[in-house]
Amino acid sequence: MDLEIFEEKIGYSFKDKKLLEKALTHSSYANENRLPEDNERLEFLGDSVLGFVTAEYLFNEFKTQPEGKLTNLRAAVVCEKSLFKFAEKISLGEHILMGRGEEHTGGRNRPSIVSDAFEAVIAAMYLDGGMDVVKPYILGFIKDAVKREVNFKDNKSLLQEEIQKQKGNVLLYEEVGETGPDHDKVFNFVVKLNGEIVGEGSGRTKKEAEQSAAGDALLKLIK
């Protein structure tokens, strides 16, 4: 394993290289090679560090939001799907040490494995360099994710509030197609009010497409 290549991708050079190697060691590799440890303990710690940094950022950024909304936003930002996307940005799957069987069954592209390794790397950075090192690293990923989630929630909630001004209104989001290859899809959505299309939108994810459609509807419905 060439740790230096991965260190270049994350922008941090470890003082203790063994910490990074452990963070990249999946249990299947440890079992095959009879190693005493894998990355599961680091993943446990990384989950807490990630959660704290995210919570602190949301607490300071959204000063008027209640606890419930902050909790839901944090959950959306640090869910497995989000962590997998973060990990893809640094090609983390390519660097994980895993057993032959796990690799042959697509382990390098399995969200559960890759997202756990992402958290393990966070823990390794925290142990090696402290919060001053790992906090900017985490924020580099979550700030954009927070913006996407907030935009999505704001447009959909605003549209919902608008249509509730009249009783009996029914709102429905519907996927109408997708374009592009699997690794770069664009999803197309419409939003219907009482069965009639009132907005259209597209995005790299279904959430973004729904948000776009809701925004289009708001422009048309709010005079």
Query: pLDDT truncated to tens, each residue of the chain (223 aa)?
Result: 689 999 999 999 999 999 999 999 999 999 999 999 999 999 999 999 999 999 999 999 888 778 887 888 898 899 998 999 999 999 999 999 999 999 999 999 999 999 999 999 999 999 999 999 999 999 999 988 887 776 656 788 888 888 888 888 999 999 999 998 887 889 999 999 999 999 999 988 898 899 889 888 887 776 4
Model confidence pLDDT, tens digit, residues 92-143: 999 999 999 999 999 999 999 999 999 999 999 999 999 999 999 999 999 8
* Structure confidence at residue 76 (pLDDT): 85
DSSP-assigned beta bridge partners for residue 44:
none
* Structure confidence at residue 1 (pLDDT): 64
CB 71 within 8 A of CB 51: no
Residue 72 CA from chain centroid, whole number = 14
CA 60 – CA 139 distance, rounded (Å): 13
From the candidates 43, 102, 116, 119, which is the catalytic residue?
119
pTM across the whole model: 0.70
Q: What is the SS3 assignment for 183? A: helix
* Structure confidence at residue 12 (pLDDT): 96
- How much helix, strand and coil, in percent to the nearest 5, is found in the chain? 65, 10, 20
- CA neighbours closer than 13 Å in the CB half-sphere of residue 22: 21
Which pair of structure tokens corresponds to residue 203?
Answer: 């995005």
* Structure confidence at residue 211 (pLDDT): 86
Q: List CB contacts of 212: < 8 A, sequence separation 6 or more.
A: 189, 200, 201, 202, 203
Helices vs. strands in the chain: H and E counts, helices first? 10, 3
E runs forming strands in 82-223: 171-179, 186-193, 196-203
Decide if 119 is catalytic. yes
Q: What is the SS3 assignment for 55? A: helix
Q: List CB contacts of 146: < 8 A, sequence separation 6 or more.
A: 57, 58, 61, 73, 77
DSSP state of 84: H
Model confidence pLDDT, tens digit, residues 96-109: 999 999 999 999 99
CA 79 – CA 115 distance, rounded (Å): 9
CB 118 within 8 A of CB 87: yes
CA 1 – CA 136 distance, rounded (Å): 26
DSSP-assigned beta bridge partners for residue 188:
177, 202
In 3D space, the residue among 196, 212, 151, 202 whose CA is nearest the CA of residue 176 turns out to be: 202
From the candidates 38, 43, 47, 102, which is the catalytic residue?
47
* Structure confidence at residue 222 (pLDDT): 62
